[in-house]
Amino acid sequence: MSRFAAPIAESIWDMKYRLKDGDGTVHDRTVEDTWRRVARALAQNEADPGTWEEKFFTALEDFRFLPAGRITAGAGTARQVTLFNCFVMGTIPDNLDGIFNALREAALTMQQGGGIGYDFSTIRPRGAEVKGVSADASGPLSFMDVWDAMCRTIMSAGSRRGAMMATMRCDHPDVEDFVAAKADASRLRMFNLSVLVTDAFMEAVKADGPWELSFGGKVYHTIQARDLWNRIMQATYDFAEPGVIFIDRINEANNLAYCETISATNPCGEQPLPPYGACLLGSINLARLVREPFEATAHVDEAELDELVGTAIRMMDDVVDVSNFPLEQQRQEAQAKRRIGLGVTGLADALLMKGMRYGTEEAAEQTERWMHRIARAAYLASVELAKEKGAFPLFDADAFLASGTMQAMDEDVRAAVAEHGIRNALLTSVAPTGTISLYAGNVSSGIEPVFAYSYTRKVLQKDGSRTEEEVEDYAVQMWRDKFGDAELPDYFVNAQMLEPEDHVRMQAAAQKWVDSSISKTINVPEDISFEAFKNVYMQAYETGCKGCTTYRPNDVTGSVLSVSEKADKVPGETPVNDGGLPEEGGDVVYMSEPLDRPAELDGATYKLKWPDSNHAIYVTVNDIVLNGHRRPFEVFINSKNMEHFAWTVALTRMISAVFRRGGDVSFVVEELKAVFDPRGGAWMNGKYIPSILAAIGGVLERHMIQIGFLEGEGLGLKSDPTAEVVNLPGKRGPACPACGQFDMRMVEGCMTCVNCGHSKCG
């Protein structure tokens, strides 16, 4: 009998976590083999590996403890990949040599599979004097563009693009440009952005006082704090970025405030880290721990929870010693502090099984109790490890216990730490768990509410055909198994039905017992007023959150039409077409199959003469007309130079295949223009072009502008002429770059595809 609760779970395991060779040879025949591989690899670091292998296997069994994907995919494989999820890179020096050395370190880290964070506040502002060369500085955003291009080029761990977080202090002279950067849809696409907001700034906002923008002791501008705050809020309202990080609160609460200063986070924000800081992640699956679900006696067995947490802490501590690290500085930092991030997933499903409505005071209180229990068990387990293996090398009892987090900890835990020390400096975090939650049977992710109780997923079969399967939330499936077609109770709510205050209440409740931070998206309705939107962030600040990330569906960010109205209907409610739930009888059709080719097409041919090449390249672009709009349909790339034959044929076929599937194909231009040739590019028409492929991308872009498909150079799709063809009853989400389906949704601050599990944040 399969261990998987849903077909999607087995698909995710097979695609992402199952050990296979490059030639297709399968080593993990079953998911039990995967659990055994991970358990054995981590237990080798123990004095009694046989005993701990069995205990680790038991924790993994039935998806009760879910190590982060990098651990499940990489442990015991002998591959040169890191098992750590999160990195913040070293402080960027304010000089050219240091900046490009930092770029190199970032490339090496992403190559092994690490998502990275950087604070760009250390680079002098645009226009500042550069002594010795009689020039003005180009500013941090110009160097962020270089990082962005690098990230496009590096394929993280050989399978996916890297993910990056960029932060900037609220008092940096270029912060206004930083805040507005995502208004250009083609810029900094590989970055998540967050502003480091200080307590002093928030007080100035409340008082409508002045705010100085300074660097290196020099004040460049003085503005009104509230004006800057409104700019941050307006950008987030319009483009879902930047996020806000309450950096003083993070540093005050940090257990290690006595030996480090934090100024950046990993890409999804749950791990504030010092320079070269690294952290690994894992989650307790609360949905698998509820006993007697949907009964008045439903409960989580606290003794079982304590034991599971203790085993998970030991497993994660072993990862610190067995993992590879891209850089030696990262290894030294990790082993000096032994930071780990144990969190939860399936919280919303667990609350449903207890009959609680997500977002209520009752649900928040239950969440706080569970998180408190987990924190206690984690800290006491780490104390036991310290007795056995020693405290982390930088442990200082008095300074550690004086931190903001430890001052709020239970007295018996404080006493145990004071007497025996502690193995891990920080222990808890709530990560984005989108993919591992699917793998665990489509449980609700992290501390998020259930996004959709049901949605349709297209599955690629071995013969190349696609079948459709209905994917149900884990708790809904359990309800159906127990009560059949009985109507869902009114406490079954999803993300579209909650008020923003409900989200903030749950984040604040969980944050109280999380020593790092929480990856959480606060979904807000499209028609929320700007003042109400700003109040969400102020509520997050006032209630003790360490950061705030919102998602407001609109024409820029998109919205999702992938949920099933039948499963999400709440008793007593009339279905409405709100851009998230289709009307009764409305079919949602996705453009996954290629458009048929008419007998004749109009197009244009462009001659491209690359310097130092003996032969020109000819690029032909043919268009199709849909609903009165022209869009690119196919491309032919030809050259008499036989050295170009193979790649021009391959590029012709690939680009044409993408174009024929419709949707927003402007990313093809974006990707081609970002390719650079290590042998050097060329100057064409007064502009530096980094490669022949980038030049072809420029040709395609100019053609798309001429036919009205793009608004202008560097701008994305103006409108999608396939929308009427597929008869969508409203807006839809952006297309997934991995599978092409329009099933991207914001999950804990990260765009994630519910069709294939692709995640922007890795």
Residues 6+ apart with CB under 8 A from 442: 5, 6, 8, 9, 471, 472, 473, 474, 477
- Distance CA(591)–CA(575), nearest Å, equals 25
Q: CB count, 10 Å around CB of 247?
A: 27
Q: Give CA–CA dist 320/225, Å, rounded.
A: 42
Maximum pairwise Cα distance, the chain: 82
> What is the distance between the alpha carbons of residues 211 and 228, in angstroms, rounded to a whole number?
9
- Confirm if 519 and 506 have CB atoms less than 8 A apart: no
Instruction: Tokens for 510, please give them.
Output: 């969980």
Contact assessment for residue 406 and residue 254, using Cβ atoms and an 8 Å cutoff: no
Of residues 85, 144, 146, 148, the one with CA closest to residue 112:
85
Q: Which is it for the CA torsion 269, 271, 272, 275, positive or negative?
A: negative
The token pair at 513 is 């017992």
Just list the catalytic residues: 266, 268, 270
List the structure tokens of 503: 């989200």
Cβ pair 130, 102 in contact under 8 A: no
644 vs 178: CA distance, rounded Å: 40
- Indicate the residue type of 253: A
Cis upstream peptide for 242 (omega within 30°): yes
**Of residues 663, 515, 488, 502, the one with CA closest to residue 591:** 663
Task: List Cβ neighbours of 751 (8 Å cut-off, separation of 6 or more).
Answer: 734, 744, 745, 759, 760, 761
Q: How far apart are CA 720 and CA 725, in angstroms?
A: 10
Kind of pairing between the strands at 191-197 and 164-169: parallel
Rounded to the nearest 10 degrees, how much is the dihedral formed by the CA atoms of 375, 378, 381, 386? Answer: -100
User: Are 151 and 161 contacting, i.e. CB atoms less than 8 angstroms apart?
Assistant: yes
Helix (H, G, I), strand (E, B) or coil at 341: strand
Residue 340: name the closest of 326, 353, 321 by CA.
321
Query: Which amino acid does the sequence have at 549?
Result: T
Structure tokens belonging to residue 669: 């231009």
Q: What separation in angstroms does the CA of 251 have from each of 116, 257, 284?
A: 19, 6, 26
Structure tokens at 684: 């064409």
CA 155 to chain centre: 16
CA distances from 407 to 252, 346, 402 (A): 11, 29, 6
Q: Give one DSSP letter per residue of 96-109, joined into a string.
A: HHHHHHHHHHHHHH
CA distance 22 to 36: 21
Residues 525, 521: Cα–Cα separation, whole Å: 13
The answer to whether the beta carbons of residues 276 and 105 sit under 8 Å apart is no
Tell me how far apart the alpha carbons of residues 325 and 114 are, in angstroms, rounded to a whole number: 9
**What's the full length of the chain, in residues?**
762
User: Where does residue 569 rank: exposed (0-12), middle (13-18), buried (19+ CB within 10 A)?
Assistant: middle
Measured distance CA(564)–CA(44) in Å, rounded: 46
Which stretch of DSSP H or E encloses residue 426?
none
Q: Are the C-beta atoms of residues 13 and 449 closer than 8 Å to each other?
A: no
Q: Which amino acid is at 174?
A: D
